[in-house]
Amino acid sequence: MIQKDVIIIGGGAAGFFAAINIAEKNPDLKVVILERGKEGLTKVKVSGGGRCNVTHAEFIPSELIQNYPRGQKELRGPFHQFMTGDTIEWFEKRGVSLKIEEDGRMFPVSNSSQTIIDCFLSEANQHGVEVLYNHSVKAIENQGGIFQIETSQGQFLSKKALIATGSNPKIWQLLENLGHTVSAPVPSLFTFNIEDERLKNIPGVVAQDVEVNVLNSNLCSEGPLLITHWGLSAPSILKLSAFGALEFAKRDYKFQIEINFIKQSFEDSFNTLKVRKQDLAKKTVFKSTQFDLPKRLWHKLVLASSIKEETRWADLNKEQLESLSGQLTQAIFNVNGKSTFKEEFVTAGGVDLKEVNFKTFESKYIKNLYFAGEVLNIDAVTGGFNFQNAWTGAYIAAQNISK
């Protein structure tokens, strides 16, 4: 049996961040990371399309928490201890500069996730953190305040343990055996599959600011909308997929959405179209795009309103004007399934938040057992918020573990 002071299970974002902070704060502690893979930080590597969206330029805790469908209330306090600004400073102090993109996402200046990995590996090495790869944890027991942790390669003992295994069902099962409750995992951050003539053959078209409502629910969102080969994506959809993750799973990813492409009321758009009928009388409707919509989307909506390519504005009847106004402001689409959003995807579900002390990230049931990252029932919309949860939890747990 191998004795350590602190065992960290999982060598991902949260695991490395915690280990480094513990070892730096208290160099006397023997800290080991047990990682099942032949290398760690694999999600960091592929994150943000290989660029690693480390955090987000949102510096007000009450605003930051709005991005977490699960964990919103619980993260308020922790963000007052360690949040985005602290993340930037942490990396900066270790030679990694971050830059802000127009939409607030923050990446290493190098534009490469390898910079983050190199930083972690070098810091872990410098502070004497031992990283044992190919050590898949199979059992966790707590006997008389000592953790006995069995991996594929041997037994480890420690007084303190941090679980940072992300969305790993086997570890959730072990935690349930220890008395914790785990909310069933469901996917979050996905795109909607839709087969519809209005979206056919126009992948890549973006409507800059739309409103999307899910019928028979109170789920709605606003923002850019991207038409893909399979359906719809971009922030307006991804936000919905995160906030509606549980609801959509219940409905087996079959539901209806209503899109307002121009964020105007039906009446207002109808009145505008009536004015256009006068002003543009001799022009064809098809060729005179309105409301700053992308041309190809306008074409689709015009045709969906039973208006022919050659129809002139002057020839539009009331039904056609109403139909076009409906397509612009109340267009219904049938969602039938989901697809992975490759830039970033996460799992909703994990250790029940009521069972964790968010001042320390320690279990309320088992003394000296800590959690950080996606193992908890916390997840966020896309934009660097999921990593921020990992950094915050890992940092705060580290401060308490190293005491």
Ligand X SMILES: Cc1cc2nc3c(=O)[nH]c(=O)nc-3n(C[C@H](O)[C@H](O)[C@H](O)COP(=O)(O)OP(=O)(O)OC[C@H]3O[C@@H](n4cnc5c(N)ncnc54)[C@H](O)[C@@H]3O)c2cc1C
List of residues contacting ligand X (CB under 6 A): 9-15, 34-37, 40, 42-43, 46-48, 52-53, 136-137, 164-166, 168, 170-171, 344-346, 373-375, 384-387, 390
Q: Kindly state the smallest distance separating residue 181's Cβ from ligand X, in Å.
A: 18
Q: Kindly state the smallest distance separating residue 199's Cβ from ligand X, in Å.
A: 25
Q: Kindly state the smallest distance separating residue 265's Cβ from ligand X, in Å.
A: 36
Q: Kindly state the smallest distance separating residue 284's Cβ from ligand X, in Å.
A: 45
Q: Kindly state the smallest distance separating residue 280's Cβ from ligand X, in Å.
A: 45
Task: Return the structure tokens found at 256.
Answer: 């209806």
Q: Both ends of the chain: CA-CA distance in Å?
A: 25
Sequence-distant (6+) residues with CB within 8 A of 315 are none
In the complex with ligand X, which residue's Cβ is closer, 260 or 393? 393
Q: Kindly state the smallest distance separating residue 292's Cβ from ligand X, in Å.
A: 30
In the complex with ligand X, which residue's Cβ is closer, 36 or 239? 36
In the complex with ligand X, which residue's Cβ is closer, 117 or 302? 117
In the complex with ligand X, which residue's Cβ is closer, 172 or 248? 172
In the complex with ligand X, which residue's Cβ is closer, 170 or 364? 170
Sequence-distant (6+) residues with CB within 8 A of 192 are 231, 232, 233, 237, 241, 257, 335, 338, 339
Q: Kindly state the smallest distance separating residue 254's Cβ from ligand X, in Å.
A: 24
Q: Which of 294, 265, 298 is nearest to 307 (CA)?
A: 298
Helices (H), 98-200: 113-126, 169-177
CB-CB contact of 203 with 368 (8 Å): no
DSSP string over 320-343: HHHHHHHHHH-EEEEEE-EEE-TT
Residue showing tokens 């029932």: 377
Helices (H), 292-384: 295-304, 318-329
Phi/psi region, residue 201 (left: phi>0; alpha: psi -120 to 50; beta: rest), is left
Strands 146-151 and 137-143: antiparallel
Residue showing tokens 């047990």: 34
Q: Which of 107, 115, 9, 10 is nearest to 344 (CA)?
A: 107
In the complex with ligand X, which residue's Cβ is closer, 54 or 259? 54
Distance between CA 12 and CA 35 in Å, rounded? 8
Residue 5's CB is within 10 A of a number of other CB atoms, namely 17
In the complex with ligand X, which residue's Cβ is closer, 15 or 349? 15
Q: Kindly state the smallest distance separating residue 95's Cβ from ligand X, in Å.
A: 20
In the complex with ligand X, which residue's Cβ is closer, 142 or 327? 142
In the complex with ligand X, which residue's Cβ is closer, 194 or 238? 238
DSSP state of 383: S
Residue nearest to ligand X (CB): 12
Distance between CA 169 and CA 165 in Å, rounded? 9
Q: Kindly state the smallest distance separating residue 202's Cβ from ligand X, in Å.
A: 26
> Which amino acid is residue 145, in one-letter code?
G
